[in-house]
A and B are shown apart, each in its own frame.
Chain A
C-alpha cells in the first residue's frame, strides 16, 4: 500500500499520534527525539503536499472515505499548502532545537508532557489549516488552543505570572472560539451545511439574510479574538511574555498566522467578496482596527522594558499589517498579507529564539540584561539585529516586500491615509528596534548591567539565523515565493465575483 494518497491526512495525523505516543513515554530524551522526528517528518510531508498542490491543483481528501458534504474532507490548495508548510517548518526548526531551553525552563518531570503538548498543538494548527469542514475547524482550533493554554502555563517555573497569563489566554481564547461556534451555528442554520465549499455556494444565493449577517459578525469578532487583533489583543502580550521561550517562538510564528489564514478563508472563500465587502462592511471594520493595531501596538512596544513584551506588542502591530492587507480586498493587499505572514513568522520566531538565548545566559530579557551583549554574544546579537531590521521592513528583507504590497494596495484602493499608517507603523518600528539595538550594541555592560556570559549554545542562534536567512531570501528573491503567493492571491481575489 502506498502512502502517497494519504499525505493530507498524515500531515495532521503524524503529529497528533506522535503527541499521544509521547504523552505515554515517560522519558525526556526519548520524548524530544520522537517529537523532533515527528516534526521533521511532518514538515517533509507538508513539502510533499505543497509540491503536489503545485502539480495538481487543489487536493481533496475525504476522511474515512466519506465524501463531502456528508463526510469531513481535507481540502488543500495553494494557500493552505503554504501555511501548512510554514507551521510544520517552524515546528521542525524550533522543536528539535528547543532541548536546551526546555531543560532550563521546564521542570524535568514535565518534559514528555511538554513535547506531547507541543505536537498536539502543532497538529491542531495543521488540522485547522487543512480542513475543509467548518465545525471540524472549531474543534481543531480548540485542540491547538487548549494545548497552548497548558504550554503557556508551563512557564510558571520561571515566573508565576505565566499562570495568570495562561488563565487570561484561556478565558479570551474560549470566548473567541465560542463566538466562532455561534457564528457557525447561524451559518449552518441558513445553509444547512458545514462543508466550507458547499457553504460558500449556498451563501452566495442567500444575499445576506439577517441570520447570515449575524453569523458573519460572530465569526469575524471571534476570529479577531483568536488573531489578537486590536483591541482584543491583550492576552497575547502576556502569554508571549511569560510562556517558555520555545513555546513563545513557536506560537508567535504560527498561532496568529493560522488565525489570519482562517480569516482569509472565511472572508474570501466562504463569505465571498459580496457578502464580506458589499453586504457587510468587513473591510472597513478590519481596516479600522488594523490601522489602530499598527499604531497603538507599535507605540506600546516602544514603551516596553522587557524585550519579550516588546516583541509581543510588535506582534500586535504586525497582525495589524496582516489584517490590513486582507481587508483591502485586492490581489495586491492579499499578496502583502501572505508575504508578511511568511516573513513575520520567520522573523518573530528568530527574534524570540535569540531572546531565548539571552534568557538562557542572562536569566532574563529586560533591556537591563541585554545591555552590551554584542561583545560576548555576537551571533545572538546579530540575530537580534537582522531580525529587528526585518521587523522594520528594511529593504532586502521580506518585510519590505510586504510593506510595498500593502502600500501599493492601499494606494490602488485610493486609501492613501492607510498607506501612511503602514509607513508610520514601520517608522515606529524603527523606534523600538533601534532602541533595542542601541542597548545590545552600544550599551556599556559592567556598570549598569551584569557582564554578559559567553555565547549561547548553537541551538539558539543557529535556528534563529536560519530563519532570518529565510526572511532575507524572501526579501531578495521575488521568484522564491512569488509563484505560490501569486497563485494564492490570484485564486482568492480572482474567485470573487
Chain B
C-alpha cells in the first residue's frame, strides 16, 4: 500500500499558505487554492490510514536536530491519525463555509485569513504527527501563533483584548508549565520521544506526579478551568475561526496533547498507578459541571457554545486521567465526535449571523421558519453533543462511561450523565424555540420581525449540512476511529 510521507501533510498547507498570500488580488484563484489544498491534504492524510491500520506501518520523518538527540521528528501513529484525520476532513467544509461567510459578510483582510488558516492546519498536522515532545511543543506554539491573527481579525479593542487573553493563557501555560515539564522529562530520562507504555518508568512517583500536573495544566488549549477564559473571549473572531478553534484544530490540539502525553509519556498504567492523578479527575468533573451551568446563563449564542466546548473538552481530559484504556478510547473518540458536532453548531451560529445578523439566543425564537435547514442542522449537532443515539457523540460517552466505572469512579459517571442533562437544557431550546415558537412580534408595519431573512449563502449551507451528516455517519460507521483508538489502547488490557 502506498502512502505519502508524513512531512507532506505539513508541506501541502504550508505551500498553500504561501500561494494564498501571493494570490491576494485574485480572490477566486485564492479560494480555489484553499479548496485544492484542503482536498490534497485530505487525500494525503487519507493515504496514511490503510498503511497504519492494515500494515502496521509507522511512517516517520526525521528533521534537523536542534540539540544532540533532540530534533524535529514526525511519526504517524493511530492517535495522531485521529486528530489529523479530523482536522484534514473538517478543513474542506470549513473552507467552503469560510468562503461563504467571509464574502457574505464582506470581511476585510481575507487573504490574511485564508493564509493563516492554512498555517494553522499545517501546525495541527505537525502536532498530530509529532514523534517527540519537542516537535509537539514546536507545532503547538506554531498553532498559537498562526491563530493569533485570526482571533484578532477584526482589530477592534475587544478583539485585541481577546488576543491578549488568548496569548496570555496559551503561551503562559505552554511556555511555562509544558516546556518546563518537557525539559524536566529530558533531564530525568534523557529522551523526549513518545513511546508506547511511557518513558518515565524510572522516575520517582512524586516527580511523576509533578510532571503529570505540569503537562496536564500546561496544555492550556484543553481549557480546563481555570485556564479556559481565553476560549469564550476568543469568540469575537469571525465564526469560521471559532469553528477552527473549537472543532478543527485548536482546542483539539490541547486535549490531544493531554491524551498523547498520558499514553506515550506516562503510559496508561502509570497514570492509573499514581495516586496523584485524581485531582485532575475532579478538576475535569468540576469543569464539566460548572461550564454547563455557566453556559445556561449565556444569552450570546457563541458564548454559550464556547462554554459548551469547555465542558466537552474536559470529557477528554477525564478520559486521559482515568488511567485505563477505555478512557483513552473514549477520549480519542470524543475528539472526533465533538469536532463534528461542535463545528456544525458553529457553522449554524455563523450562518444565522450572516443571514439574520443575530447573535443572541433570545433573538432566535421563531427563526426556524426562515432558516429551517440551518436550525435542523443545529439540532443534529446539539443532539450529538448531548450524546444521544443515533449520533456520534453517543459512542464517546459510552466508552467514557465504561471507563469511569472500570476505574471505580461511579461518581464521575453521574457527572457525565448530569452533564448530558445540562447539555439538553442549554442546547436544545435553541432549535426548538426556533421551530416551535412564534417570533416576537414585529413593529406592525412589516409583519414579523424576521421578514426578509433567508437561509445563509449556499457554501455555508453545504458545509453545515456535510458536517451534520458527518455526526450521523459517525454513529453508524465509527469503526475506523475505533480501530485507531484500540490500536493505541487495546481494550483487552
A-side interface residues toward B, CB under 8 Å?
394-396, 400-401, 403-405, 407-408, 411-412, 416, 419-420, 423-424, 426-427, 430-431, 434, 438, 441-442, 444, 475-479, 482
Minimal beta-carbon separation of B89 from chain A (angstroms): 28
The 8 closest A-B pairs by CB, nearest first: A395-B138, A407-B183, A476-B64, A423-B176, A478-B65, A430-B171, A411-B187, A478-B67
Q: How far is the CB of B446 from chain A (nearest CB, A)?
A: 37
Contact B70 A395 (CB under 8 A): no
B29 smallest CB distance to A (angstroms): 21
Q: How far is the CA of A270 from the CA of B90 in the complex (A)?
A: 62
CA distance A404 to B183 in the complex (A): 7
Q: Check if B175 sits within 8 Å of A404, measured CB to CB.
A: no
Q: Render B177-196 as a binary contact track against A, CB cut-off 8 A, 1 for contact.
A: 00110011011000000000
| Contact present for A427 and B176 (CB under 8 Å) | yes
- CB of B149 within 8 Å of the partner chain: yes
CA A394 to CA B175, docked complex, whole Å: 10
Give Cα A424–Cα B180 distance, bound, in whole angstroms.
10
Residue of A396, A411, A427, A431 near B183 (CB, 8 A) is: A411
Contacts A420-B180, A442-B152 given; 5 further ones with Cβ under 8 A? A395-B138, A405-B67, A478-B65, A478-B66, A478-B71
Q: Determine how close the nearest CB of chain A comes to the CB of B227; give it in whole angstroms.
A: 14
Nearest-neighbor residue (CB-CB) of B69 within chain A: A478
- Across-interface contacts of B70 in A (CB, < 8 A): 404, 478
A403–B67 CA distance with the chains assembled, in angstroms: 12
Please judge, given known A-B contacts A423-B180, A427-B175, A438-B152, whether A477 and B65 are in contact too, CB under 8 Å.
Answer: yes
B47 at the interface (CB under 8 A from A): no
**Inter-chain contact B152/A395, CB cutoff 8 Å:** no
Residues of A within 8 A of B163 (CB): 438
Does any Cβ of A come within 8 Å of B141's Cβ? yes
In the complex formed, the residue of B with least CB distance to A406 is: B183
Partner of A408, one of B64, B172, B175, B183: B183
Q: 8 Å CB contacts to A: which residues of B122-159?
A: 134, 137-138, 141, 145, 148-149, 152, 155
A423: chain B residues within 8 A (beta carbon): 175-176, 179-180
B286 contact set on A, CB distance < 8 A: none
Docked-complex contact A424 and B137, CB < 8 angstroms = no
- CA–CA, A476 to B63, complex, Å? 9
Is residue B160 contacting chain A, with contact meaning CB distance below 8 A? yes
Given contacts A394-B141, A479-B65, whether A438 and B160 have CB atoms under 8 Å apart is yes
* CA–CA, A434 and B148, complex, Å: 10
Could you list 30 examples of A-B contacts with CB < 8 Å?
A394-B141, A395-B66, A395-B137, A395-B141, A404-B67, A404-B183, A405-B67, A407-B179, A407-B183, A411-B180, A411-B183, A411-B187, A419-B180, A419-B183, A420-B176, A420-B180, A424-B176, A427-B172, A427-B175, A427-B176, A430-B167, A430-B175, A431-B167, A434-B167, A438-B163, A442-B149, A477-B65, A478-B64, A478-B66, A479-B65
Determine the chain A residues whose CB is within 8 A of the CB of B179 once the complex forms.
403, 407, 423
- Expressed in whole angstroms, the minimum distance between the Cβ of B95 and any Cβ of chain A is 23
Among residues of A, the one whose C-beta sits closest to the C-beta of B137 is: A395
Indicate if B68 sits at the interface (CB-CB under 8 A). yes
Residues in A with CB closer than 8 Å to B65 are 477-479
Contact A408 B187 (CB under 8 A): yes
Does the CB pair B149–A441 fall under 8 Å?
yes
CA distance A291 to B422 in the complex (A): 47
In the complex, A430→B141 CA distance in Å? Answer: 11
Candidates A411, A476, A477, A478; contact of B184 at CB < 8 Å: A411
B residues less than 8 Å from A401 (CB atoms): 66-67
Which residue of chain B has the shortest Cβ distance to A473 in the bound complex?
B64
Query: Residues of B contacting A477 with CB < 8 Å?
Result: 64-66
A349 to B138, CA, bound (A): 25
**B62-99: which residues lie under 8 A (CB-CB) from chain A?**
64-68, 70-71
Contacts of A430 in B (CB 8 A): 167, 171, 175
Using an 8 Å CB-CB cutoff, how does the interface string of B156-170 with A read, 1 for contact, 0 for none? Answer: 000010010001100
Q: List chain A residues, Cβ under 8 A from B160.
A: 438
Chain B residues near A420 (CB-CB < 8 A):
176, 180
Complex: how many Å from CA A478 to CA B71?
Answer: 9
Contacts of B186 on A, CB cut-off 8 Å? 404, 408
Q: How far is the CB of B104 from chain A (nearest CB, A)?
A: 23
**Which B residue sits closest to A393, measured CB to CB?**
B175
The CB with the most chain A CB atoms within 10 A, among B70, B137, B183, is that of B183
Which A residue sits closest to B176, measured CB to CB? A423
Task: Report yes or no: B180 in contact with A407, Cβ–Cβ below 8 A.
Answer: yes
User: What chain B residues lie within 8 Å of A479 (beta carbons)?
Assistant: 65
A394 CB contacts on chain B under 8 angstroms: 141, 145
A180 to B43, CA, bound (A): 67
A427's nearest neighbour on chain B, judged by CB, is B175
For B64, what are the chain A residues with a Cβ–Cβ distance below 8 Å? 476-478
Give the complex CA separation of A482 and B183 in angstroms: 18
Q: Beta-carbon contacts of B212-254 to A below 8 Å, as 1s and 0s?
A: 0000000000000000000000000000000000000000000
